[in-house]
Amino acid sequence: MGTILAMNLRTTLPRIGLLALASVLTGCSNDPYFEFPVQSIVPTSLRQQEANGEITPQAIVQTLSATDLPVAFLGVPDRGSQALLIRIEQNGPYETFANPDRQSVTMRHGMITGTRGLSGDLMSTEEEALLDLIRARRAGQVSYIQRYLTPEDVTEVVTYRCGVEPDATVDVSIGLVQDRATEMVAACESPDGPPFVDYYKVSGNGEILASRQWLGENLGYVAMQMLQR
């Protein structure tokens, strides 16, 4: 994003961002001396709203104005919860986003590959084949493996066979993210787990800007929107 465009977006964010984010939010119904990096960025009002399970567009604007770090919105409809996550770590292609409650999500090019602190977490995935098709915006059949933690603290492994297809080309205009994207659909089945259908909006350079992704029976579907990259 060019400097002039970025400045214009920041100037008009309260007007553009509030309208776009309002529609998104409506649809998504131990070291004691370690200073968690998100604490100093997230406004107190936002922390209170996360505790109430809902984040207003106004609080999101405050957060985007307070940091240049990548920011993602996460919604868990089955739990009626929403959170803003700020990137706290990057390890190669893997980025970890977290909130002040130490709930975190790890993503690879925008695909969620692990969660922590959400209860019944997705511990890890073998996502390479699936992610390659989605990033290339190509059709195909691939294997995909999820490992997640059950409420009984048992790690369960489920192997899926996924059919991937591209769909429509759409404009993405959420927060400070303005781009064109291809909608990708991944329909997955397994003899060991329930079938699911994931949706991804993928930019021209192969980055997932938004998704609805299945993270196991305990978490269900999770909605992700990149608000700042």
pLDDT mean values, one per 10 residues, the chain (229 residues): 32 37 39 35 44 72 92 93 94 95 95 94 97 98 94 90 97 93 97 96 97 94 96
CA 65 centroid distance within chain: 20
pTM of the complete model: 0.78
Q: Report the pLDDT value the prediction gives residue 58, as an integer from 0 to 100.
A: 85
Are the C-beta atoms of 106 and 95 separated by less than 8 Å? yes
pLDDT at 53: 53
| pLDDT for the residue numbered 187 | 98
Say what the pLDDT of residue 150 is. 82
Tokens of 178: 């303005």
Residue 181, CB half-sphere, CA atoms under 13 Å: how many?
Answer: 26
Identify the helix (H) or strand (E) that includes residue 14. Answer: helix 3-27
What is the Cα–Cα distance from 95 to 97, expressed in whole angstroms?
A: 7
The pLDDT value given to residue 108: 98
